[in-house]
Amino acid sequence: MIAIWQDSIGTALLLMLFCACFLSFGVALAVADVKSHRLPNRLLLRWAVASVLLLLALSAVRAEFMPLLWALLGAIILGGAYLVLALISRGSMGMGDVKLAAVLGLNLGYFSLSALFVGSVFAFVLASLVVLVGIIARKLTAKSAVAFGPFMILGAALALLMTR
C-alpha cells in the first residue's frame, strides 16, 4: 500500500513539474516568436533536455518504459513532418518551427499518438482562424508573416488537456 501511495505522489509531482516546464518554456518561446519571428535554440534545447529528464523520471516512477519509445516516435514523426513542410514552403516555415515540433512531438508522443495528431490539427486550425479574422479585419493580408510557434504550443497544450 505504501509503494502505491509513493508512486501516486511521485507521479503527481512529476506531472506538476511537467506542466510547469511546458508552461514556462511554452510561454517564453511563444513570446520570443511573436516579438522576433524566431524560436531561440537555447530555449528549445533546454526544453528538450528538461522534457527528456522529466519523462525518464516519470517512466521510472510508473515503471512503464514503452511511453518513452512513443515519445521518441512522436518527436521523429512531428519533427519530420514539419521538416518536409519547411522544405516545401519556401521560407514560410522556419527551422525553429521544425525543432519546436520535435520537442512538442516528444512531449505529446509520450502521452499518446492521438495527442500528437490532435495537437497538430489544433495548431493549423487556430492559426487559420486567427489569420482569417485578421484578413477580414484588414489587419493582415495573405502575404503577412504570422508567428506559428504560439499556435503549435497552444495546440499541443490543448491536446494534452483533451486526450488521454
pLDDT along the chain (164 residues), means of 10: 58 94 98 96 98 96 94 97 93 92 98 94 96 90 88 97 82
So what's the pLDDT on residue 164?
64
Domain total for the chain? 1
Report the alpha-carbon angle 36-37-40, nearest 5: 80
So what's the pLDDT on residue 156?
98
Q: Which uninterrupted H or E stretch holds 151?
A: helix 149-162
So what's the pLDDT on residue 4?
44
Structural domain boundaries, residue 108: 2-162
Phi-psi region of 152 (alpha: psi -120 to 50; beta: other; left: phi over 0): alpha
> What does the block give as the cell for 121?
490539427
So what's the pLDDT on residue 155?
97
pTM of this prediction exceeds 0.85: yes
